A and B are shown apart, each in its own frame.
Chain A
Amino acid sequence: MANVKIFSKKNLDAFVDSLIQDKKYEVVGVKSKGKRFAFDTIDSAEELRLDYDITILPPKKYFLPQYEKLMNYSLKEKFDVKPDNENKPRIIIGMHPYDIIALQQTDKYYLDEQKDDFYEKRRKNTIIIGVDIQNVSEHSFASSMNTHFTESGFDLMLTNIDNKYAVTIGSKKGEDLLNKYAKVDDAKLSDKEKINKLRQNLVSKYKKKVKVSGGKSWSSLLVANYENSIWAERSSKCLECSSCTMVCPTCFCYDVHDDLSLNLADGQRVRTWDGCLLKDFTKVGSGEVFRNDLKDRYRHRFFRKGNYLAERYDFIACVGCGRCAVACLPNIASPCDVINELSHFGGEDKPDKYFIKQETKIDEKGTIHVPRQATIKKIQKLTDSETLFELELNDKKPLGHKPGQFVELSIFGVGEAPFGISSPPSNEPTFDVVVRKVGNLTSKLFTLKVGDYVGIRGPLGNGFDVKQFEGKHIIFVSGGTGMIPMRSLIEHCLDKKNRDKYKYMKILYGAKRPSDVLFQDKISSWEKCKDVTCKLTVDSCQNGECWVGSVGLITNLFPKLQVEHIEPKNTMAVIIGPPVMFKFVIKCLQTLGVPEANILVSLERRMKCGVGKCGHCQINGVYCCKEGPVFNYSQIKNLPEAFK
């Protein structure tokens, strides 16, 4: 067993007070707040309430603050951005084991291959002194989650035994802290036994127990009950306040916005907590909301905890603290109640049904938040509503993207949004994005001029694996602005260097009206290529408009496809377009005989962070920004949220 020392109550207080007096650290501890408790800065050991049952908010607020300044920018200069460097070391005294375990889960998520540098900095700068639970919160079910004690994740762990505190050393940092600031005695074997006994006895103090627990047990139960009526029944009482997500130690979705000083001279990019119960959580620039029904949002929270993250990381992302149950006025938020209710229905299903196991390759190392500078090189109006911006990274390096990938484009003071890259991969430092004026960022972009700077993060996301296309015929199906990223893929495939690798190509494209057709000149040049057919259609064509293509939905183009050029079984099909289009086009492709596994789609969601962190673009267990936006249809056809 780990190294254990003993504090008399007096010596523990002296230890805490000397930490405070040293002023090297901000010392945070649990204090009373009315009848409840909260983590807060402490001025003296007397304020510490190590006997607390639960705090209102979890200590995640010290690692992912409610409002977190990510960077400062000046609007006087073209591009003057500095990441925030606030960095005072902190000691947190009194974290309960379930909160320590929640933090370890957050590490998996925030310190994965796309590390969040702001989180990492805080994490490294914080010393954690845990405390074993003395009083159990009435809504907590931590013992069912096996989170009522922990052997790791802390620097020091305090345990109250017989009016003194045992302190278990969990790290070198913790040991050094004791050596420098504390007066402790060695623990006897009997003290160590008392710690174990105390933890064992704790279990009986929990009134709330989950009937199904351990490992991934929630996962298959949830999947089997995706369509269960309990989601509608329970959510009918939901007030949509999202308090459950705010107080949760394992809810770490966020939003980012730009604040401005009143004189418009400078501002800050701020990250703040967001909640998936809120209706606008999934809303994209064009106004579409992807999880519109409250029932779906309510269900999403439980699936994220018990299925989506469970399949991704092998842990249930609920530590049983019960804070959501304390906070929820209608009392419908506790995962304990939901799982127990579902356990009556039982049922087994493939637990990883709503999740894609996929290795994501990260080319770009370094900060995931701070954009690189790019200059607008060319602005070309394509249609009444779309304009092409040619951008060049100021470091003159090629973007290095694959067709289908996207960038996050920033205008400081306005914000950031994802844009599909429209130009094919190249060795030039320039690339194209095509923008439709729909929201704040795009409206602002339309006012910029050649020579102005923007911020770029990326390339991001999973693009097209063009190797898959080799030796095959290809059908490209684009609807509306879907042609923007499709152009990148088509031009890449038609490139002299690559053309021989692919067989016959059919390009199908539907727009609203003739004047909305993008890349008219490019389309004419594609048409002239050998073994290429282009078929265009518009929803409507007014009198006097010049139009030689079809009129009608894009599905009308399929019967006109001459199958003699292509062998459907040896054909790849790519679909990019508005959400309504997919179902119908996929049906047409299947009728044609194109195998499911050969159909690739690129989906649109609210890809706010672009690196699988903020949670907005989730399609069931899949992050559209990370595992997508390009998916193989056969991989995601069973995700209920994919083509809803």
Chain B
Amino acid sequence: MSKPRVAFFDFASCEGCQLQIADLEEEVLDLISIVDVVSFREVMKEHSDDYDIAIIEGSINRPMDEERIKQIREKAKILVALGACAAIGGVNKIRNQWDAENVKKDVYGDAKINDNKYFDVYPTKAVDEVVKVDYYVYGCPINRDEFKKVVTSLVMGKKPEIPTYPVCVECKKNENVCLFELGKFCLGPITRAGCNAICPTNGSPCDGCRGILRKPEIECIQDVLDRYNLTYEEMKNRCIMYNYSKEECKNE
């Protein structure tokens, strides 16, 4: 069986998720024993447009991004969204709270950028808002173990099993003291697991980087918020960092 050809691409992102893969160090040898990496700008200079699996980091922000991701989609048999920016829009979507033109003005002031396609930004989109995504590797950054699981699954021809349950499950298995008890506001109860609860295990409340599974209605969560002296508004604000959604704001 010939090894699947894998190419990495980056859009609006910090490239930290690809760095996680570069950081596999000696395990990279195992990785390239099961796949041919034909494009990976962060670690190699070679590039090929002949690939089976495209792994996309970053969100889509400009018409030129959209064109590029569509071309990649056409070439790839399997397209994987890598990390929060690609999978759910992530931190880039914070910007969507404001009008794109105002944001530009705020950031670039009077600089002449109007005719420059590189600055032609529209509200941030996750990759699946533009093209079909076959599989997701969630997280900011991704969890290397989960990435390995996704790659081995794809090579084995099986669908990667990504948790549909919240971070609390993994956090409890790690026997952490609940961060709510310590006065911290953690999104673990409503965020997709798969990170092995790395943040709460190390004392930082979950920010929801792997996506919110179900945003509870105010009636559902009011008691919890009251008990811990929090407001529904604060909960929504906590969700903005990785899970801003315009539709939801419209409904309010």
**Interface of A with B (CB < 8 Å)?**
33-36, 38, 56-57, 61, 66-67, 236-243, 246-247, 257, 259-264, 272-273, 275, 278-280, 327, 329-331, 413-414, 439-440, 443-444, 447
Cβ A330 vs Cβ B177 within 8 A: no
Q: Smallest Cβ distance from A137 to chain B, in angstroms?
A: 13
**Which B155-175 residues have a C-beta within 8 angstroms of A?**
155-159, 161, 164-166, 168-169, 172-175
Q: Is B95 an interface residue (CB 8 A)?
A: no
Q: Is B70 an interface residue (CB 8 A)?
A: no
Cβ B175 vs Cβ A240 within 8 A: no
Cβ A440 vs Cβ B221 within 8 A: no
Which residues of B sit under 8 angstroms from A275, Cβ to Cβ? 165, 169
Which residues of A sit under 8 angstroms from B219, Cβ to Cβ? 236
* In the complex with contacts A273-B173, A278-B169, A264-B34 CB distance below 8 A: yes
Q: Is B31 an interface residue (CB 8 A)?
A: yes
Cβ A241 vs Cβ B177 within 8 A: no
Additional A-B contact list (17), CB under 8 Å, known A239-B220, A440-B161: A36-B177, A56-B175, A57-B175, A66-B174, A238-B220, A239-B166, A241-B169, A243-B189, A246-B172, A246-B173, A262-B148, A264-B152, A278-B169, A327-B172, A330-B223, A413-B156, A439-B159
Cβ B30 vs Cβ A261 within 8 A: yes
Cβ B177 vs Cβ A263 within 8 A: no
Fill in one digit per residue for B113-152: 1 if any A CB lies within 8 Å of its CB, else 0: 0000000000000000000000000000000000011011
CB closest residue in chain A, given B159: A440
**Interface of B with A (CB < 8 Å)?**
24, 27, 30-31, 33-34, 148-149, 151-152, 155-159, 161, 164-166, 168-169, 172-178, 180-182, 188-190, 213-214, 216, 219-221, 223-224, 227
Q: B227 contacts which of A33, A35, A262, A331 (Cβ < 8 Å)?
A: A331
The contact sample of 18 A-B pairs, CB cut-off 8 A, is A56-B172, A57-B172, A237-B220, A237-B224, A239-B190, A239-B220, A239-B224, A241-B165, A242-B166, A243-B169, A246-B173, A247-B172, A272-B173, A273-B169, A278-B169, A331-B223, A331-B227, A444-B158
Q: Smallest Cβ distance from A417 to chain B, in angstroms?
A: 12
Q: A440 contacts which of B158, B173, B190 (Cβ < 8 Å)?
A: B158
Q: Smallest Cβ distance from A346 to chain B, in angstroms?
A: 27
Which residues of B sit under 8 angstroms from A259, Cβ to Cβ? 149
Which residues of B sit under 8 angstroms from A56, Cβ to Cβ? 172, 175-177
Cβ A262 vs Cβ B30 within 8 A: yes
Cβ B157 vs Cβ A447 within 8 A: yes
CB closest residue in chain A, given B172: A246
Q: A241 contacts which of B164, B175, B189 (Cβ < 8 Å)?
A: B189
Which residues of A sit under 8 angstroms from B221, Cβ to Cβ? 237, 239, 330
A-B pairs with lowest CB-CB distance, top 3: A246-B172, A241-B168, A263-B30
**CA separation between A278 and B227, bound complex, in Å?**
24
Q: Smallest Cβ distance from A452 to chain B, in angstroms?
A: 14
**CA separation between A454 and B3, bound complex, in Å?**
24
Cβ B158 vs Cβ A327 within 8 A: no
Q: Smallest Cβ distance from A614 to chain B, in angstroms?
A: 16
**CA separation between A33 and B219, bound complex, in Å?**
33
**CA separation between A198 and B246, bound complex, in Å?**
61
Q: A260 contacts which of B33, B152, B166 (Cβ < 8 Å)?
A: B152
- Chain A at the B interface: SS class: loop
Q: A443 contacts which of B158, B178, B190 (Cβ < 8 Å)?
A: B158
Q: B157 contacts which of A33, A34, A237, A443 (Cβ < 8 Å)?
A: A443
Cβ A330 vs Cβ B224 within 8 A: yes
Q: Which of B151, B158, B159, B166 is most buried by chain A, counting CB atoms within 10 A of its CB?
A: B158
Q: Smallest Cβ distance from B148 to chain A, in angstroms?
A: 5
Cβ A240 vs Cβ B166 within 8 A: yes
Which residues of B sit under 8 angstroms from A261, Cβ to Cβ? 30, 152
Q: Smallest Cβ distance from B208 to chain A, in angstroms?
A: 13
Q: Smallest Cβ distance from A518 to chain B, in angstroms?
A: 25
Cβ B168 vs Cβ A66 within 8 A: no
Which residues of B sit under 8 angstroms from A272, Cβ to Cβ? 173
CB closest residue in chain A, given B147: A262
Which residues of B sit under 8 angstroms from A264, Cβ to Cβ? 34, 152, 155-156
CB closest residue in chain B, given A56: B175
Q: Which of B155, B180, B181 is most buried by chain A, counting CB atoms within 10 A of its CB?
A: B181
Cβ A35 vs Cβ B181 within 8 A: yes
Cβ A279 vs Cβ B180 within 8 A: no
CB closest residue in chain A, given B161: A257
**CA separation between A327 and B164, bound complex, in Å?**
20
Cβ B156 vs Cβ A444 within 8 A: yes
**CA separation between A444 and B158, bound complex, in Å?**
7
Which residues of B sit under 8 angstroms from A57, Cβ to Cβ? 172, 175
Cβ A239 vs Cβ B216 within 8 A: yes
CB closest residue in chain B, given A261: B30
CB closest residue in chain B, given A61: B175
**CA separation between A237 and B190, bound complex, in Å?**
13
Cβ A262 vs Cβ B34 within 8 A: yes
Q: Smallest Cβ distance from A589 to chain B, in angstroms?
A: 38
**CA separation between A263 and B175, bound complex, in Å?**
31
Cβ A242 vs Cβ B165 within 8 A: yes
**CA separation between A413 and B152, bound complex, in Å?**
9
Cβ A329 vs Cβ B156 within 8 A: no
**CA separation between A247 and B175, bound complex, in Å?**
9
**CA separation between A238 and B220, bound complex, in Å?**
7
CB closest residue in chain B, given A267: B152
Which residues of A sit under 8 angstroms from B34, Cβ to Cβ? 262-264
CB closest residue in chain A, given B167: A241
Q: Which of A35, A240, A329, A330 is most buried by chain B, counting CB atoms within 10 A of its CB?
A: A329
Q: Smallest Cβ distance from A575 to chain B, in angstroms?
A: 32
**CA separation between A279 and B221, bound complex, in Å?**
19
CB closest residue in chain B, given A263: B30
Cβ A35 vs Cβ B189 within 8 A: no
Which residues of A sit under 8 angstroms from B216, Cβ to Cβ? 239
CB closest residue in chain A, given B196: A67
Which residues of B sit under 8 angstroms from A238, Cβ to Cβ? 220
Cβ A38 vs Cβ B175 within 8 A: yes
Q: Smallest Cβ distance from B51 to chain A, in angstroms?
A: 20
Cβ A243 vs Cβ B172 within 8 A: yes
Which residues of B sit under 8 angstroms from A33, Cβ to Cβ? 175, 177
Q: Which of A61, A236, A257, A264 is most buried by chain B, counting CB atoms within 10 A of its CB?
A: A264
**CA separation between A61 and B172, bound complex, in Å?**
11
**CA separation between A582 and B121, bound complex, in Å?**
56
Q: B224 contacts which of A34, A263, A329 (Cβ < 8 Å)?
A: A329
Q: Smallest Cβ distance from B248 to chain A, in angstroms?
A: 18
Cβ A243 vs Cβ B173 within 8 A: no
Which residues of A sit under 8 angstroms from B220, Cβ to Cβ? 236-239, 330
Cβ B164 vs Cβ A262 within 8 A: no
Cβ A246 vs Cβ B157 within 8 A: no
Q: Smallest Cβ distance from B241 to chain A, in angstroms?
A: 19
Cβ B168 vs Cβ A242 within 8 A: yes
Q: Which of B169, B181, B188 is most buried by chain A, counting CB atoms within 10 A of its CB?
A: B169
Which residues of B sit under 8 angstroms from A34, Cβ to Cβ? 177, 182
**CA separation between A239 and B168, bound complex, in Å?**
10
CB closest residue in chain A, given B222: A237
**CA separation between A439 and B159, bound complex, in Å?**
8
**CA separation between A34 and B181, bound complex, in Å?**
10
* In the complex with contacts A263-B30, A264-B156, A444-B157, A242-B169 CB distance below 8 A: yes
Which residues of B sit under 8 angstroms from A413, Cβ to Cβ? 156
Which residues of A sit under 8 angstroms from B178, Cβ to Cβ? 327, 329
Q: Smallest Cβ distance from B231 to chain A, in angstroms?
A: 16
* In the complex with contacts A236-B220, A440-B159, A329-B180 CB distance below 8 A: yes
Cβ A262 vs Cβ B151 within 8 A: yes
